[in-house]
Structure 1
Amino acid sequence: MSAPRIAIAYDCLFPYTTGGGERLYRSYAEHLDDLGWDVDYLTAVQWEGAPPAEDAFTVTPVVGRLRLYDGRGVRRNAAALSFAFGLFRHLLRHRRSYDAVIVGALPILNVFAARIALAGSRTRLVADYLEVWGRAQWVEYAGGLWGNVAWALQRAAVRITPIATCHSQLTARQLRREGLRSRLLVSPGLIDGASDVTPRPADDPAYVIYAGRHIADKRVETIPAAVAQARRELPGLELVILGSGPTSDDIRAAVADADGAAWVRMPGFVSEEELSRLVGGAAALVNPSRREGYGLVVVEASAHGTPVILVDDDGNAATELVEPGRNGFVARSAAPADLAHEIVAAVRAGQPLRASARSWYEEALRTRTVRRTTENIARALDANAPTTKDAPR
């Protein structure tokens, strides 16, 4: 009997782009291959020449190269429409070729494209929701007109989703609030294999770190003032800000306002090796983001034994992964005083907190894995889903 065939649809592919979504969907593809599925990865062109050859799945471009974001870091409507149309066209042509399709629900047009193209076929459809936003979030992100349009489209897509998956209780609640009545799978976690890093003590002099894109939702510009305030109790504390993006100029202005030229470093994006070294040596990782669909940053920092400092916010699902006092702290707000309070607590907690953060990670390796998430999806698609090729993990 031939292997069942499944398509995973997302407009980006790791490592050609490096966000959390593309890492997740590549992991889905690799684990589904290991479970016995024949996997196609439907995406946009992000490489030169022929599609890359992968051992675990076939890369199938459904549209050419796209410019995904505008100068403000907002996804472009034209790119979303182009990919959705390419996906629709491909699935319509191959509507009876796949046993199942997993479609990334960001941008939301992908759900409509897949649902309409597969209507009347026996192909099972799963929509994977990395995030779900309320009306106010959409309006803030995209403006009054397009924000309201996007919110209405999201509600409609949620209501026509046959099987939904998500990765936090926050997103699960939002899906139900937006009208989901079908089956919902909440993943146990998104850890994909054990990290090979060896935890070590924090560097001296102590520093805290931010790593990621510089966009409005991340609120990176709040960190310099918070560290300046923390330095009143920890005079030698320094700050490293990695990454770049539309708000980088605002961050540099915030550094100047905090008189931080002597104790702030902004090297931009760095190599994976350097990123690991800097995160591993930090006294804490500070991420004041107002929204996170999962919070892989918590997992990655905890693997190093580096505690995290997040902010309590209605759209921040990453706080679900923090056990205060064990692998980090959650500040009441992004105000400098609130962030500074938790920064001081994390730095002063020292090695015992680092050891407990690593123990949290080791426990999560057994309970919060992409492998378990993928197996749950396979079971939902077919009660007699193929068994693992290899020994159980």
Structure 2
Amino acid sequence: MTEALSRHILFLNWRDTRHPEGGGSEVYIERMAAEMVARGYRATILCQAYAGAAAEEVKPDGVQVVRRGGRHTVYLFAALVYLAGALGFGPLSGRRFGRPDVIVDVCNGLPFLSRVYARRPVIALVHHVHREQWRVIFGPVPARIGWWIESRLAVRVYRSCPYVTVSESSRAELVGLGVDAERITIIRNGTPAVLTSPVPRTDHPSLLVLGRLVPHKRVELALRATVLLARELPTIELVIAGQGWWEAPLRELTADLGIEHRVRFAGFVTEADKHELLGRSWVALTPSIKEGWGLTIVEAAAHGTPSVAFRSAGGVSEAILDGHTGTLVDDELDFLRAVRRLLRDDERRTEMGRAGRVYARGFTWEASGDAFAGLVSDRLAGVPQGQRVP
């Protein structure tokens, strides 16, 4: 604790959890920042601005948040804010924020490239590699450019930096891009505390999709499964909790499929509402094309709710113990069959629920914070406070 006092960690992340499109990766960053504050560090998150959000604030847990720029310009503002602080003005130079001693550069597809301009120790944090997402979200040319930045340029820029990632699968992908294996530390997500008392399951078959509404989450698969399952489960309901720019196409598909009466778009939900949905649902669905870990899967498990996800989707293959806490599938037909089996087999769901609760208890934010603090301490070792690194 003594060593950490007044040491300042700057997290560069494109969003925070209050952003309309914030998700599990933002939860991870904010929890790590809070864990660092709890251990005596000062922590600032620099992320993009959005309507209704304060430009600067200090959260109840002591984490300081600076919001600048938009979806793409936040990367430029990160450099400008840092450089302004280095020259003695700007939000990171005042008494409230202070200049950083170490930077955690979060690469959500695009890196901040802080190693180019910052003369401070840098830790690169990658939840997962975005090879598949580039092609899903962008056209051919932007996708090629983005993938080149992520897979070639970033690897070169951070070639002397330690990496943090959240799963073995993400670590393997980084190694495949050329990152030295010994520079990569796996620090998994913790399991958020259950905020509600136990609630009864719905009296009808119920499915839940929880997360951002963007194309690569493939919520369409859940909609199509609902149509087919309704033929033998006429009271089935699908709840889609979350928001994002892909909501309109999803609503259009829901109407085209004629299942508006079976699908509820819950929009943004509070933590308490989220936990109630997780506890009441029979099965949670994660049809995403790629996840670094699968935080919502373990959250569901903490409520005794099994999940169905795709084996090829990165870290979900570790968030689920296949056949014990949920089911991993290989294609859309397999997805439909697995969901059907769980909805129709009460005993299997119950067994998976019990195993899931035990598994979820094995992941704590405190343990993750200890590991992260150890990495930060190692990175700062031998660098006197305020001294620049070449």
Q: TM-score range by the shorter chain?
A: 0.7 to 0.9
Q: Distance in 2 between matches of 1:344 and 1:87?
A: 52
TM-score w.r.t. structure 1 length?
0.81
1:304-352 per-residue CA deviation (whole Å, 9 max, x = no partner) reads: 2111111233x4322321123322112221x2x3222111221223255
Q: Distance in 2 between matches of 1:224 and 1:97?
A: 48
Please tell me whether residue 130 in structure 1 is matched to residue 127 in structure 2: yes
Contact 1:283 1:350 survives alignment (8 Å): no
Q: Distance in 2 between matches of 1:248 and 1:311?
A: 22
Once the two structures are superposed, the pairs formed by residues 185-334 of structure 1 within 5 Å of their partners are 185-187=185-187, 189-313=188-312, 315-333=313-331
Please tell me whether residue 52 in structure 1 is matched to residue 65 in structure 2: no
Please tell me whether residue 24 in structure 1 is matched to residue 28 in structure 2: yes
Identity of aligned residues (%): 22
Which one of the candidate residues 139, 142, 145 is aligned to 1:146? 142
**Which residue is 1:364 aligned to?**
360
**Which residue is 1:173 aligned to?**
172
TM-score w.r.t. structure 2 length?
0.82
Contact 2:126 2:164 survives alignment (8 Å): yes
SS at match of 1:101: strand
Judged with a 3 Å threshold, the aligned counterparts in structure 2 of structure 1 residues 270 and 49 are, in CA distance, closer, same or farther, namely: closer
Judged with a 3 Å threshold, the aligned counterparts in structure 2 of structure 1 residues 148 and 50 are, in CA distance, closer, same or farther, namely: closer
Q: Distance in 2 between matches of 1:214 and 1:15?
A: 15
Judged with a 3 Å threshold, the aligned counterparts in structure 2 of structure 1 residues 116 and 225 are, in CA distance, closer, same or farther, namely: closer
Which one of the candidate residues 365, 368, 376 is aligned to 2:371? 376
Contact 2:326 2:352 survives alignment (8 Å): no
Q: CA deviation at 1:36?
A: 2.1
Contiguous gaps of at least 5 residues in structure 1: 69-76, 387-393
Judged with a 3 Å threshold, the aligned counterparts in structure 2 of structure 1 residues 385 and 360 are, in CA distance, closer, same or farther, namely: farther
Contact 1:221 1:250 survives alignment (8 Å): no
SS at match of 1:316: coil
SS at match of 1:30: helix
Q: Distance in 2 between matches of 1:145 and 1:384?
A: 37
User: 1:53 corresponds to which letter in structure 2?
Assistant: V
Judged with a 3 Å threshold, the aligned counterparts in structure 2 of structure 1 residues 180 and 91 are, in CA distance, closer, same or farther, namely: farther
Contact 1:41 1:58 survives alignment (8 Å): yes
Q: CA deviation at 1:48?
A: 5.2
Q: Distance in 1 between matches of 2:75 and 2:46?
A: 15
Which one of the candidate residues 12, 15, 21 is aligned to 1:12? 15
Judged with a 3 Å threshold, the aligned counterparts in structure 2 of structure 1 residues 53 and 316 are, in CA distance, closer, same or farther, namely: same
Deviation larger for 262-271 or 338-347 = 262-271
What count of residue pairs does the alignment treat as equivalent?
364
Q: CA deviation at 1:163?
A: 0.6
